[in-house]
Chain A
Amino acid sequence: MPGRSRGAHAVLLGLMVAAGCSSPQSATSPSVTFGSAATTPGMPGMSGTQAMPNMPAGTSAATAGPAAPVAGDAISIDNFAFAPATLTVHTGSTVTWTNRDEEPHTVVANDGSFHSPGMDSQATFSYTFAKAGTFDYICSIHPFMHATVVVTQ
């Protein structure tokens, strides 16, 4: 590291100087101390000599939803909103939600009675309401999205 000259370096210059003088990381990197955990959180970065690992190809999983049922009661998810915001159906009805956003959403009942997986764009989720009642639900990824299914006898 440079000595304690008191010249006022601009920060960019300061960083360059620091970079130019940096010695091997083992000598300069401050150590990390964990208060209580026996295992170290995080993961090591790449060591200096390690080769660049190969990137796995095509591992990203697109969750294409099941084919949308043609019949039944439909709720659309569009622009981060459930439409209709309140849907009334009879007992035994199957309600299908379709995500028309580019963002993933979920459908999660506040009382825990139903819970979709993450629904990517155009994916659907269906649930059959066996009992009467009022079911408030949210998107657990964007919980400011909320709506209601009212199930009548």
Chain B
Amino acid sequence: MTDAPHAMNRRQLIRHGAWFGAAVGLAVVGGEVISHVAGTADAARIQGRPTLRFAQVSDSHIGFLGKANSNVASSFGQAIDRINNLGYTPDFVIHTGDLTHLATPGQFDQVKQMMTGLRTPHVFTVPGEHDSIDDGGQKYRSAFGAGTRGAGWYSFDIAGVHVIALVNTLNLKKLGHLGVDQLEFVAKDVAPLPSDTPIIVFSHIPLFAMYPDWGWGTDDAAQALSYLRRFSSVTCLNGHVHQLFSKTEGNVTFHSGTTTAYPLPPPGDGPAPKPVTLPAGKLHDALGIREVSYTRGHTTLALKDKALQ
């Protein structure tokens, strides 16, 4: 792996984030990775409990047996412990997909069983493409689809925030894909909402073009986002890329989360998004969980990414 002169590696990014110890956003501008403290002034004004606080975990790949992580169940267990020891009870935990590596019934059973150990009132999920490998997501929906609509999408309201969970891992041509039924769901779902309702969108594959050559984008995301254009606060959280990355486009902020299983290369670094085997002892610096909080009256969410360590 060759390092671009101005690019930080993932470990440096995470260390950088930890050093700030606050709401840190990462953005790529002109090919350079830049970190910035997002909404610092907002964060400083937080008094006590935020309006909403939850945790994101992603890409546990239960069943992976490669050398990049010899025990993905153990590292996912550590991620659960990390969430259970935040010092407060998150209002919910979202797993943004690739719960399993090969979508076998045994892997779904294992990851579901492990997530019952999360100390939180609600655990939500969206599927990754590894969870819907050869059956259009049927086994995923058998395990996690109760109460969802269409191919597994849904929405809910919590603490005045409207949350939409999307499925963009089915019927793939090259990129992630939502499809007409789901686009119609989004349009109708948000139609009655006042424009000052904060919106959070979960998906597995990014809803922005992070690196289309590796499939890191969603071909019809622009249509979905057009329904959200009138809202003053829209935040999209995704997994899939196994690394931290943030980007703002107009009224929408996108945040890719890291993984609990194994890192992938930075966009375009090497021929393919192959699992990266790190030197001994370095893996857990690249794995992590994310805390997200929202305080009423603010337009941006506060994010804190924590390495597993």
Contact = CB atoms under 8 A, between A and B. Distances in A.
B65 A80 contact: no
Interface stretch (A10-18, A84-92, A127-135): A10-18
Contacts of A153: none
B102 A61 contact: yes
A115 B136 CA distance: 12
A143 to B, nearest CB: 4
A44 B121 CA distance: 6
Contacts of B44: 8-11
B36 interface: no
Interface in A73-115: 79-81, 101-104, 106, 115
B112 to A, nearest CB: 7
B125 to A, nearest CB: 7
Interface stretch (B25-33, B86-94, B248-256): B86-94
Contacts of A42: 92, 122-125, 144, 147
Nearest to B291: A15
Contacts of B45: 8
Contacts of B155: 34-35
B208 interface: no
B130 A141 contact: yes
Interface in A117-153: 117-118, 120-121, 140-144
Contacts of B172: 140, 143
Q: Among B67, B102, B112, B155, which residue has the most Cβ atoms of chain A within 10 A?
A: B102
Nearest to A115: B134
B37 to A, nearest CB: 9
Contact of B147 (A9, A38, A59, A141): A38
B104 A32 contact: no
Contacts of A70: none
Contacts of B63: 60-62
Contacts of B52: 30
Interface stretch (B3-11, B225-233, B269-277, B282-290): B269-277
Given A18-B48, A30-B52, A61-B106, A53 B117 contact: yes
Nearest to B122: A42
B125 A9 contact: no
24 contacts: A1-B49, A9-B46, A11-B302, A15-B87, A22-B89, A28-B49, A30-B52, A32-B122, A32-B158, A33-B156, A34-B147, A37-B147, A37-B148, A41-B165, A42-B92, A42-B144, A43-B123, A44-B121, A46-B117, A55-B77, A61-B105, A62-B63, A140-B134, A141-B133
Interface of B: 21-23, 43-52, 62-63, 65-68, 73, 77, 86-89, 91-93, 101-107, 109-110, 112-125, 129-130, 133-134, 144-149, 154-159, 165, 172-175, 189, 213-215, 271-275, 302, 304
Interface of A: 1-2, 4-6, 8-12, 14-22, 25, 28-46, 48, 52-53, 55-56, 59-63, 79-81, 101-104, 106, 115-118, 120-121, 140-144
Given A5-B47, A102-B66, A118-B103, 4 more contacts: A15-B87, A43-B123, A60-B110, A104-B101
